Structure 1
Amino acid sequence: MRTPNKAKRQMKEYFDGFSLTALRNIIHSMYTVRKEIPTMRKILAAAKVDLNYTGSKTTLTKIIKTDLGYQFKRCYRKRLILIERPQVQAWRAKYLRRMKHNDSLGANKRPVIYLDETWIHAHYTVKKCWQTATDVGVRRNDSPGRRWMEFTREAKLALLTMPF
Structure 2
Amino acid sequence: MKEGGLHSQRKKRNRGSPVLDSVDSFDEAYIRRIILTFYEKGEIPTFKNILTKVKEAPVNFEGFLTSLYKVIKRIGFSYKKVESGRKIIMERDDIVFARCKYLRTMKQNRLSENPRPEIYLDETWVNQNECISKCWTTPDGNLGPKLKTGRGARFIIVHAGGMDSFVPNGLYYYSDKKMEIRETIMIP
Same fold (TM over 0.5): no
> Higher relative contact order at CA 8 Å, sep ≥6: structure 1 or structure 2?
1
Shorter-chain TM-score tier: 0.3 to 0.5
TM-score by length of 1: 0.43
TM-score by length of 2: 0.39
Of structures 1 and 2, the larger Rg is shown by: 2
